[in-house]
Amino acid sequence: MHGVNENGKAELVKPKVSREQLLPLIANLPPCLIGMEACSGAHYWARLFRQHGHTVKLVAPKFVTPYRMSGKCGKNDAQDAAICETITRPHMRFVPIKEEHQQIILCLHRTRQGFVAERTATYNRLRGLISEFGIVLPQKVTGLRQSISKHVDDLPGYSKQCINDLLAHADQLDLRIADYDKIIAKAAREDARSKRLMERPGLDRADTRATQQRRPCAAGTHYQGWGQLFAQFAGHGRARRTQQHRRQTRPLQSLGTQPGRTPRLLVRGGGENW
């Protein structure tokens, strides 16, 4: 822990603070500005620190690296006060602090996304194993399931059991994903902001809950970062997807959304009534 005053002079330097001692230490401090890297558990600690009257700002670790005196490999933030320098920059971009209900919804989406990735890996593993016996299957799941039923009985030895186990595992993942789809749809029906979003064309329950993980957008450009708008470029009013747009829309694609076919939306205003 490293604390400085308004002149940048160090007043609180503690090279090591245990988890049990952190909250009592922060509670005894006068209201001040606290900066943390947006890592695992940072949102939880930020909510606790705010309860004691502090202003908390989370910053991405990649923005802290340039301010380390020992370079990008230096990890001693208490010595060079890299985080203190980062959060005082006038144009620094901070990570919005998630509330507990936002993290609950995020937990649903991350768990479902993990099952989807595991299912994809299972089918890829299955295709790779069965290709060793001269059987090439299509990449699409529907075609794969239809084609593999014709070749399972022809597999030699224990390979038949392996393929059957992989298919059974994929079936279990399908059931789990379907269960989470129902939970996400239920959560969307219970949220007022999700109901208003579902009235817009091109959005469904899963999309609305995915956007509610983040803070309400203050402009259409913020909503663009969530994957519902294209980046605008000069030239006949056309729009195309950038690499950043593809990366930001990947969670929505895992929910079944096709950003390339999503109608363009314009979001005005901000706050809770958007």
Q: Which residues fall within 8 angstroms of residue 84, CB to CB, at 6 or more apart? A: 2, 3, 4, 8, 35
Is the full-model pTM beyond 0.95?
A: no
Q: What is the pLDDT of residue 167?
A: 92
Name residue, tokens 């469904």.
204
Q: What is the pLDDT of residue 81?
A: 76
Mean pLDDT per block of 10 residues along the chain (274 residues) reads 82 84 90 90 93 92 82 57 85 91 90 95 92 86 85 85 92 95 89 78 58 46 44 52 58 56 43 46
Q: What are phi and psi of 178, to 5 degrees?
A: -65, -40
DSSP state of 18: -
Whether residue 253 contacts residue 260, with contact meaning beta carbons closer than 8 Å, is answered with no
Q: Where are the domains positioned within the chain?
A: 2-87, 99-190, 215-274
Handedness of CA 242, 244, 245, 246 (dihedral sign): positive
